[in-house]
Amino acid sequence: MAVSRNLDIMIDSFLDGITGAALFGKLRRPSAPTVLFDSRSLGEALPEYLEMLSKSTRRNGMRDSLHLLTRAYERSLLKQQLQTVHQSQEEPGSCDRLIGSSPQMQRVYHLIRRATNLNASVLVTGESGTGKELIARAIHNLGSRWNRPFVAVSCGAIPKTLIEAELFGYEKGAFRGAVGVREGYFEQAGDGTLFLDEIGDLSLFMQVHLLKVLQQMEFSRIGGNKLIPLRARFVFATHRDLAELVAEGKFRRDLFYRINVLRIDSPPLREHPEDIPRIAMHFLLQYTQVFQKPMEGIEPDALELLQRYPWPGNVRELENVMQRAIILATGQTVRAEDLSLNMLEEDGVDCMSEDELLDHTLRQVVMKFSGTYGHREATSII
């Protein structure tokens, strides 16, 4: 007998003369979804199982039996999901989809776990490409709202003339072109999580409306009078310095205090380079599957180069570099020459010693000539 995480019990009934039906009858776990494997032919095994099913159906009724089976299956799925959540909470080197075991990332994980089941607003700050949305999703996925909607909105990507309608929704005929009722993001989030990214790009006009919604916890669609309760929890994010915007009069001070209840700073990648090898390997495994190009790993010289690069584009740039490296790689591993040259151009002499830079440049030249002359001829030319 084998135990599975998804189905509580799986039985191989070819056990020294004990049939699967007989063993199943001795079990005392009727709520557990059970799979029976029988090595006998269908003609031999079917009568015994039909008799067992008939007794179960007469006792509970077919509808009740199906209902119990459905409930048991749902419970097994829920148990698996909860186990995944607990594993991600206990794993020191990761948190949901975030990766890294550095002190900077451990601080982020600690704040995420403090925020998961709070109804207070959370403000995530950090440079572009540091994973602010992943932090917001981790807060959502690890909390009690994990099975509710997660709605992500980039305030900077929506034209100022449309963002009110996108957030609040509108009634039919509220304005020209409103041919029907539309639920806004406040409504779509339900009792899940609404993630408002680039909150610093909101106009002062919209800041007033947002502040009112956060204070009263209700809103109405454009063109409507019915007040709709706001049930979603808010996570805000920005790459801008909101305190500086407040000082310049570009962001409302009262709104800043309202959204800045719990603040999580997403560190730039250059501040925790010890996490780069693991993040790079994550992208390597991910995109070798996407590109259907098996790769075995990353060479030490390439890892060293990745860790010494300042990463102005942070994790998003690292992801792009790894994609390109996988595509350009001619072997089973990513080498330094597979990485983009702009990494050297931006980092300059601080990135490599003169000997390393010369060796890297010669490799690049050999690769370039190899396309025309072949590798052996190109090497002899150099």
Closest-CA residue to 302 (of 223, 243, 356): 356
pLDDT at 325 over 50: yes
Task: Give the pLDDT band (50/70/90) at residue 340.
Answer: confident
Torsion (CA) 92, 93, 99, 104 in degrees, nearest 10: 80
Q: CATH number of the domain at 270-351, out of 1.10.8.60, 2.170.150.70, 3.40.50.970, 3.30.70.3280?
A: 1.10.8.60
Residue 266: HSE in the Cβ half-sphere, 13 Å Cα cutoff: 25
Tokens of 50: 């039909």
Residue ranges of domains in the chain = 9-84, 91-267, 270-351
Tokens of 224: 């409507």
Closest-CA residue to 131 (of 348, 283, 297, 300): 283
Whole-number pLDDT of residue 9: 45
- Cα-based distances in Å from 104 to 75, 107, 291: 37, 5, 32
Whole-number pLDDT of residue 179: 87
Q: What is the biggest distance separating any 2 CA atoms in the chain, rounded to whole angstroms?
A: 87
pTM: predicted TM-score of the whole model, two decimal places: 0.68
The fold for domain 91-267 equals Rossmann fold (3.40.50)
Per-residue pLDDT tens for 283-314? 999 999 999 999 999 999 999 999 999 999 99
pLDDT at 118 over 90: no
